[in-house]
Amino acid sequence: MAVYSIKDLEKLSGIKAHTIRIWESRYSIIEPGRTQTNIRYYTDDNLKLLLNIALLNKNGIKISKIAEMENEEILEKVAAISEMNFESDVQLDALTLSMIEMDEYKFDRIISTNIQQLGFERTMIEVIYPFLDKLGLLWLTGSINPVQENFMSYLIRQKIISAINNEPIAQGKAIPKFLIYLPEGESQELSLLFMHYLLKSRKFKVVYIGNYISLTDLKDAYQIHRPEFIYTIISETFTKPLIKDYVDSLAITFPDTQILLSGYQVVSQNLQSDKNYSVLADLAETIAFLDELNRK
């Protein structure tokens, strides 16, 4: 059984610790445990209940009214709001709850409903990416455990792969081909998979060669496919003295190919070169580049 502090509840629910204490004393909604030194602690059940209460309260239901509801009524209203209200905060709260509960059905219902309403690309940009940002913050502050993070990452990965598989494979000699990969040590698989989707949905040819790719492996793939573009993400592998050397080696090794780079390390070091590589600073710039290329 997981144990949470009131600060953990604040981070996960977005409700201030002071407000949580007021709800406890005035409405007896949540009953924390106490250590031998009289410090509050909260269980998984406490957290799940608070997340549901927070979602209802943020959507205009007074806390006094929520306090009168049976648990089943709370769950029904949360489900209805999650499926009808597509505001970012509501979706983030609903996804956080599905993560804490490790509830695949709830996750699937939230994401599938968003895809029906917004389409897959907007769902990724407006719902999943903000959730991943929140997930990273919660991980850094120790408010979630690796099991919960891995559970959600796996489900998101499956959704992206399903979307990729639903797009037809581009055919034709004149269609630009992208070879996409992650260098050794990089772990941005979800971002690379989403890039695969963005390319395929815009009818480009894509060769996805995956993670932990050495320069030798990249050369082998290049010899077979001769792509017009090579795309990679460099966020954590390299340090300042090394990253430009690596990027320059890509440019020298593949002189007839345009190399596209993204990721924290590339952007933060402000790489500039007259060689055959370009930096895509963020997702919006990447999409704009692809759309412009698609219009040519």
pLDDT tens readout for residues 223-232? 999 999 999 9
Choose the most confident range, by mean pLDDT, from 30-34, 97-101, 127-131.
127-131
pLDDT (average), residues 240-259: 85
Across residues 211-237, what is the average pLDDT? 92
Q: Are 188 and 156 in contact (CB under 8 A)?
A: no
Burial (Cβ within 10 Å: 0-12, 13-18, ≥19) of residue 266? buried
- Residues of the chain with pLDDT > 70: what percent? 92
Q: What is the pLDDT of residue 86?
A: 64
Instruction: Please give the C-alpha separations between residue 2 and each of 49, 143, 148, in angstroms, as whole numbers.
Output: 14, 10, 11
Residues near 100 by Cβ (< 8 Å), separated by ≥ 6? 12, 44, 47, 48, 51, 144, 148
pLDDT at residue 202 in the model: 96
Average pLDDT on 275-293 reads 91
- The three-state (H, E, C) secondary structure of 100-168, written as one string: HHCCHHHHHHHHHHHHHHHCHHHHHHHHHHHHHHHHHHHHHCCCCCHHHHHHHHHHHHHHHHHHHHCCC
Return the pLDDT at 184.
87
pLDDT digit string (tens) for 35-61? 888 888 888 788 888 888 888 888 889
138-195 pLDDT, tens digit per residue, is 665 566 778 888 999 999 999 999 999 999 999 988 899 999 999 988 888 999 999 9
**Residue 64 contacts by C-beta under 8 Å, 6 or more apart in sequence?**
27
Is the confidence at residue 123, as pLDDT, over 90? yes
- For the ranges 5-14, 85-94, 211-220, the maximum mean pLDDT occurs at 211-220
Instruction: State the pLDDT at residue 204.
Output: 97
